[in-house]
Structure 1
Amino acid sequence: MEVLIGLNVSTLATFLVVFYAVYYWYKRPGSYPPGPRGYPLVGVLPRLGKYPERVMRKWSRKYGPVMSVRMGRNDWVSLNDYSSIKEALVKQGNVTSARPDFPAHQEVAHYHGILFSSGDLWQNQRRFGITTLRECGFGKRSLEERIVEEVSYLNDAIRATMGKPFEIMAKLGNAISNNICSVAMGRRYDYDNKRFKDLVAKVSWRFNHPRAARYFSLTLFEPLLIKVPPISTYNKMQISNRDDMFSLFREIIDEHRATFDKENIRDFIDAFLERMAGNDPHFTVTIYEFQLLVFLRDLFIAGTETTTSTLRWALLVLLHNPGVQDKLRNEIHKVLGFVTAIMAHRESMPYTRAFIEEIYRYRTLTPLDLFHETSGELNISGYKIPKNTVIIPNLWAVHNDPDVWDEPSKFKPERHLDEKGNFVQSKHVIPFSVGPRHCLGEQLARMEIFIFLVSMVQKFEFLPDPNEPNL
C-alpha cells in the first residue's frame, strides 16, 4: 500500500510539473497579440520552413496582421500588412528603431556600423551617412555622373562575350561594387585589379554560399545555434572574412590619411576622417576607427548585393517574358534613342518605371526586413508590446497582399499604370522599408537600378541560353 501511495504521489507530481510547464509555455500576457506557440523549447521554428515570410502571412490570416510568434523561448511580434508596419515603424518609429542583440551580428560588428547598431551611435552615424551620401558630389562629380560612367564599363564587359551565353552576376557585381568604391574611396577600379577582385570576393562571400546564408538566417531565429556545429564553423569563417575585408579597408584608409586635405574632401572616407579630427565628444578615436571599418563593410555588403540581385531578377523576368522586354525596349528607344539614360528621363518613361516597381514588389529581396526591437512600450491595434521585443516587418506579405494586389503571384507591370498609361506610385511597395531605419542607400539604389537596366535593355537583347532548358 505504501508503495502504491508513493507511486501515486510521484505520478501526480510529474503530472503537475508537466501541466504547469505546458501552461507556462502557452500563457502570454493579456495585452499581447495572439499567435501560434509551436512546441516547447523551440516554439514555431520547426514550422517556418524555407519561406518563413509566407508561413507568417498564412498564420496572420487566422490571428490578424499583428501577431505574436514564439521563437525558441521568446515571444516576437510579426507585422503582416502595410497599416501595421506603418503604425509601428513610422508613427512610432521612436520606439521601434533599435536592433536586436543577435550574437551573429555583434560578433562581427560589436554594436558598430549602420545596419545593426542602435541608440546614440546609430542616430549619430545615420545623420552623418545621410548628409555625406546626399552631398557626395566629391571632387565636383555627382553621384549620377559616377553611375553613368560605370555603365559604359559594364556594357563593354557584356559586349566582350560576343553574344555567347554567360553568367551576368559577376559583371553586375563588379559594376555595382565600383559605384560603392567611387563613393566611399573616391575612385573606380578596373575589373581585373587585384585589390578590387579581393574586395568583391569578400563582399559576396556569404551570398555565394547558400549554406552559410541559411545558417546565418537560423541564428537570427535561435541565437544559441551560433555555438553549435556546423553553424559555429561557418560563423568562424564569417569572422575571418570580416578580418580580411578590414585589412583591405585599413590599407585604403591609411592611403587617405597620407594624402588627406581638409580643403578637398574627396569621398566618404575623407568625410569620416574630417569628422574624426573634429574631436567629437561622443566618440574616442578608437571607437571611430572601428566604426569606419564596420560602416564601410555595411555599405559594400548592403549596397552591392541588393542592387545586383534586383537587376538579376529583372533580367530573369525579361527572359521569361520576351513581350515585356520588347515593350520596355520600345519605350526606351522612343524616349532616348541611344542617348545615355539619366534620372531626369524617368518622368517620360512610365512603362519602365512600372516595370521596375513591379520587380520591387514581385521579388522582395528582404522578405522579413531587418528585424527591429522596441526600446519602449509599443501600442498597436489595441495591444501593448513591451520593451525589448523583437519586431518582424513582413514586407513580402505587403507586396503579396491579395486585398491590395490582383493575382499577386503574377508579374504584371500594368498594375502600376492608370487608364491613361501614366505611372502610379503605390504606398504598398516598400522594398527599402519605411520609418527612421529605412535603407540609407535608397537613393543610390534607385538610381543604379534605373540607369543600369535602361542602358542594358537599350543596347542588348537578353535571350535564354539555348543549351540550358531550365531558366
Structure 2
Amino acid sequence: MSWTASFDYATSFVGVSTFIFCFYMMKRPKGFPPGPYGLPIVGYIPFIGINPGETLRQLKEKYGSVMSVQMGRDDWVILNDFDTINEALVKQGDKFSGRPENYVFDLITTGRALVTRDFGSIWKELHKFGLMTLKGFGVGKKGMEANVIEETPFLIENLTSKNGQRLHAKLFLAVSNIICRVILGSRFEYNDKKFNHMLEIVQKYAENTTHSKLLTALSLAPLLRFFPPFKGVAKITKDDSNSMLGYLREIVEKHESNFDENDIHDFIDAFLVEMKRSKTNNKSFNKQMLIQFIRDLFDAGSETTSTTLAWALLCFGNYPERQERIADEVMKTLGEDGVPSMKHQNEMPYTCAFIHELMRHRTLAPLSVYHKTNEEATLDGYTIPKNTTVAPNLWAVHFDPKHFENPEEFRPERFLDRDGKFVKSNHVIPFSIGPRSCLGIQLAKMEIFIFLTGIVQKLKVLPDPKKPLPSFHDGGFSLVTYQPRDFEVIFERR
C-alpha cells in the first residue's frame, strides 16, 4: 500500500471518527425541546451576543417558548415566556429548583452556601434560617428602613465629592453598607481600605468588563479554563476569592471572640447561636457555611441594587423630564427637608411606576440564576431529563408584547391607571419567582425607593458635557447582570 493511500485511509478514519463523535455529543434525548447547537466545545456561545436574554428571546419565534441551546458541551433548556416560567418554577417548583454545578460560581464562592447550593435538605434549612433571621433584623420592617434612611446622607455627600471614585463605586459603597449592617451589625467608612478591596473584588466580575466577559464564557464552557486568556482569569478569580474569604473569616472570628448568645446583634451572631445548638460536624450550621452564606449575602445584596440605581441615574441624565417629574412628587410629598420613607409610596405613584418600569426595561439578571431539574419533568409537552440546566429568560417576559404594549419603549406611565394611581404588574419579575426567588426582595425595593427619592430631593442629575452619556437603551452582560456602559454625571445641589 502506498504512502498516499495510507494517508487517505487515515484521513477518512479521522473524518468518520470526528463525525461520529460530534453526532454523539450533539445527540439530544427523545422528546427534548428543539433549538440551535453551535460549535464543538463552546456550543452557541459565540453567537449569544452582548445580551443573551434578547438573543434567546428572538429565537423564541423559531423554536417556541420552551427551547434548548447548546452551551459548551451541555444542552440547556430556555424558558421564554411567563406561563412556562410560572409552570416550571412555581407549579413544579420542587422539580425545577436545583442548581447546576458551575465552575466559575464555585471558583468565586469556594463552596456552596445558599444561592448556588443544590435543592435539598441543607438548602431548605439554610433558606428557612435566612428568611427568619433577616426578618428578625428588620429586612422589610421599620428597623432596616431606619438603616437605609441613615445611610442616605452619606451617599448624597459622597456623590457630590470629587474623590476620584467612579459613580458605580459610590453607589456600591452605600448599598453594601446596608447589607453589612445586617450581616456584621455595623457599617464601614467609605475610605476603609479592606471594605474598598472587598467591593473591588465583587465589581471585578460583576461589572461589564473584559474580565467579566471572559468569566461569563468560562462559566458556560468550563473547558476553556485550560487555555489562555481564560486560564489567567481563573487564577485571578481564585486569588480574589481567597482574599474575600480571608476578610470574612476575620470578621467571623472577631464575632466568635465577643459572642454572647444572650446579646444578638446581627446575622453572624444568630448563625453562631445555631452552631452552638447544633451537633458537631453539622452540615448546615458550621463555620465554613457561615462564611459562604455571608459571602452570598454580600454579593447579592450589593451588586443588583447598585446597578439598578446606576440605570436610574443614566436615565435621568438622558431624560431630564423623567427626573423632574419624580422631583415634583418628592417636593409635594416631602418638601426640601422631609425624610423619605416607605410610607410615602402611595403619595408618589409616578416614582413607583418609574422604578417598576426600570426593573422591567433594564432587567438586572436577564437569565436569572440558572436552575437545574432535580428529576425528570414534562413541560409544554417536552421531556426534560434530570440534571438539565434550565434558564428562565426574564428578559423575554419583560419584553413580551402580550403583556406590555410596545415593550421597547421606556414608559413608566404604563403602570398608572386613569386616576394616576400606581398599578403593579405581576409580569414584572426581576427577582424571579418560586422557591429560589431572591431572598432580599423587600430590602432591595426599600433601598431603591429611599435612595432614589433621597438623591432627587437633594440633587439634580446632569450630563457631563465633557463625557457624553451612553444610551440608556444599550448595555452589556456581565457574569449574571445586565449593566449600563460606564458613565459619569454631574450632581448639582437643588
TM-score higher than 0.5? yes
Aligned to 2:473: none
Q: CA deviation at 1:39?
A: 3.5
Q: Is residue 117 of structure 1 aligned with residue 125 of structure 2?
A: no
In structure 2, the CA distance between the partners of 1:137 and 1:29, relative to structure 1 (3 Å rule), is closer
Aligned to 2:127: 126
Aligned to 2:321: 323
Q: CA deviation at 1:24?
A: 4.2
Aligned to 1:152: 153
CA distance in 2 between counterparts of 1:260 and 1:183 reads: 16
Aligned to 2:423: 424
Q: CA deviation at 1:280?
A: 4.4
CA distance in 2 between counterparts of 1:316 and 1:13 reads: 58
Q: Which amino acid aligns with 1:467?
A: K
CA distance in 1 between counterparts of 2:99 and 2:174 reads: 31
Does the aligned pair in 1 maintain the 2:415–2:422 contact within 8 Å?
yes
Of 210-219 and 31-40, deviating more is: 31-40
In structure 2, the CA distance between the partners of 1:74 and 1:137, relative to structure 1 (3 Å rule), is closer
CA distance in 2 between counterparts of 1:255 and 1:13 reads: 64
CA distance in 2 between counterparts of 1:13 and 1:449 reads: 62
SS in structure 1 of the partner of residue 124 of structure 2: helix
Q: CA deviation at 1:26?
A: 5.5
CA distance in 2 between counterparts of 1:418 and 1:361 reads: 18
Q: Is residue 313 of structure 1 aligned with residue 314 of structure 2?
A: no
Q: CA deviation at 1:232?
A: 1.7
In structure 2, the CA distance between the partners of 1:17 and 1:141, relative to structure 1 (3 Å rule), is closer
Q: CA deviation at 1:198?
A: 3.0
In structure 2, the CA distance between the partners of 1:174 and 1:19, relative to structure 1 (3 Å rule), is closer
In structure 2, the CA distance between the partners of 1:39 and 1:241, relative to structure 1 (3 Å rule), is closer
Once the two structures are superposed, residues 433-455 of structure 1 have per-residue CA deviations (whole angstroms, 9 ceiling, x without a partner) of 11111111111111100000011
In structure 2, the CA distance between the partners of 1:149 and 1:425, relative to structure 1 (3 Å rule), is same
In structure 2, the CA distance between the partners of 1:209 and 1:316, relative to structure 1 (3 Å rule), is closer
Q: Which amino acid aligns with 1:348?
A: E
Aligned to 2:374: 375
Aligned to 1:268: 267
In structure 2, the CA distance between the partners of 1:365 and 1:10, relative to structure 1 (3 Å rule), is same
CA distance in 2 between counterparts of 1:229 and 1:312 reads: 33
Matches within 5 A, 1:88-103: 88-103=88-103
Aligned to 2:250: 251
In structure 2, the CA distance between the partners of 1:240 and 1:4, relative to structure 1 (3 Å rule), is closer
Aligned to 2:292: 294
Give the number of equivalent residue pairs.
Answer: 467
Q: CA deviation at 1:316?
A: 0.5
Q: CA deviation at 1:253?
A: 1.4
Does the aligned pair in 1 maintain the 2:109–2:295 contact within 8 Å?
no
Q: Which amino acid aligns with 1:71?
A: M
SS in structure 1 of the partner of residue 253 of structure 2: helix
In structure 2, the CA distance between the partners of 1:470 and 1:91, relative to structure 1 (3 Å rule), is same
Does the aligned pair in 2 maintain the 1:372–1:390 contact within 8 Å?
yes
Aligned to 1:190: 189
User: What is the aligned-residue identity percentage?
Assistant: 42
Task: Return 5+ residue gaps in structure 2 as ranges.
Answer: 471-494
SS in structure 2 of the partner of residue 392 of structure 1: strand
Q: CA deviation at 1:262?
A: 1.1
Does the aligned pair in 1 maintain the 2:259–2:269 contact within 8 Å?
yes
Q: Is residue 37 of structure 1 aligned with residue 34 of structure 2?
A: no
Q: Which amino acid aligns with 1:142?
A: G
Does the aligned pair in 1 maintain the 2:110–2:241 contact within 8 Å?
no
CA distance in 1 between counterparts of 2:449 and 2:191 reads: 26
What is the TM-score when the length of structure 1 is the normalising length?
A: 0.92
SS in structure 2 of the partner of residue 142 of structure 1: helix
Does the aligned pair in 2 maintain the 1:112–1:290 contact within 8 Å?
no
Does the aligned pair in 2 maintain the 1:165–1:465 contact within 8 Å?
no
Does the aligned pair in 2 maintain the 1:155–1:456 contact within 8 Å?
yes
Q: Which amino acid aligns with 1:28?
A: R
Aligned to 1:54: 54
Once the two structures are superposed, residues 399-424 of structure 1 have per-residue CA deviations (whole angstroms, 9 ceiling, x without a partner) of 11123222222211001111221111
In structure 2, the CA distance between the partners of 1:456 and 1:24, relative to structure 1 (3 Å rule), is same
Q: CA deviation at 1:339?
A: 1.2
SS in structure 2 of the partner of residue 205 of structure 1: helix
Q: Which amino acid aligns with 1:328?
A: I
What is the TM-score when the length of structure 2 is the normalising length?
A: 0.88
CA distance in 1 between counterparts of 2:304 and 2:74 reads: 30
Aligned to 2:333: 335
Aligned to 1:403: 402
SS in structure 2 of the partner of residue 277 of structure 1: helix
Q: CA deviation at 1:16?
A: 6.2
Q: CA deviation at 1:22?
A: 6.0
